Each structure stands twice: as structure tokens, then as C-alpha cells.
Amino acid sequence: MQEIYKSVLEADRAAIVICDLNHTIIYMNPVAISRYEKWGGKSLVGKCLLDCHNEKSREKIHRVVDWFKASKDNNLVYTFFNEKENKDVYMVALRNDEGDLIAYYEKHEYRNRETMKMYDMN
């Protein structure tokens, strides 16, 4: 089953960076590796996410993770609108079967209408 979950992440067209509760980057999908190449790409895995952000952003990340920890119902926070890329950005809690917080990631949702033709498999 783990292979299937990884395949879902690897196929996503948005960058996915997953961090543990120490803010260590534990996974980057191929889009994230490419997107963050000028900052180290794949070599960012194992590094602290907080080192990639300014003080104001670090404070916000800490506040969100503390909020995730406060309740099993606290799982999604809207954090940013990227006007240049026309996308909404969220932080998402990742929990185990018991509902304990085990990690978090940033989710990107693009607002642009799909340009691919429906069912075009050519």
C-alpha cells in the first residue's frame, strides 16, 4: 500500500514537501525537487524547512503546527494566495490512525482552468 501512496504523491503536478514535527524535510516529490532546484533540490531532504524561511514565516509555521497539535480536528490552514501562479496555498496536518500528528505538508491548489482536453489520450 505504501507504494501506492508514494505513486500518488509522485504523480501530482504540484510541489509536495513533507516535514516531520522537527521541521525536517523528509520527502519531496519530483515537481518539488525541480521547483526548488536553485535552493538545492533533492539535497534539501534531511534539512530543516525553517532554514529556508525568514523569521516571520518561521513564526507562522510554528503557530500552525501548534494549532495542528491542539486538536485532532485542526487539519488544514489557508496560508497564502500566489497571484503570479494563481494558486491557493495551505498547510495540511498528517496524522496516524489514532489521530496523532505525525507530519505536515504544504498543499498547492491552482485556480487556472484545465487546458487539457477531456479524455484526450493521444
Decide if 21 is inside a domain: yes
- The residue among 28, 30, 20, 24 whose CA lies nearest residue 93 is 20
Instruction: Read off the pLDDT of residues 31-47 as tens digits, 9 standing for 90 and up.
Output: 999 999 999 999 999 99
- Label residue 39 exposed, middle or buried (CB < 10 Å: 0-12, 13-18, 19+): exposed
What's the pTM? 0.89
**Residue pLDDT, tens place only, 109-121:** 999 888 889 888 8
Q: What is the DSSP secondary structure assignment for residue 38, as one 8-state letter?
A: G
Structural domain containing residue 48: 2-110
Q: What is the DSSP letter of 90?
A: E
Within-domain flag for 120: no
Q: What gap in Å lies between CA 112 and CA 122, rounded to an integer?
A: 23
What one-character DSSP code corresponds to residue 48?
Answer: B
> Would you say residue 119 lies in a domain?
no
Number of domains in the chain: 1
Query: Which residues, in sequence order, are bridge partners of residue 76?
Result: 92
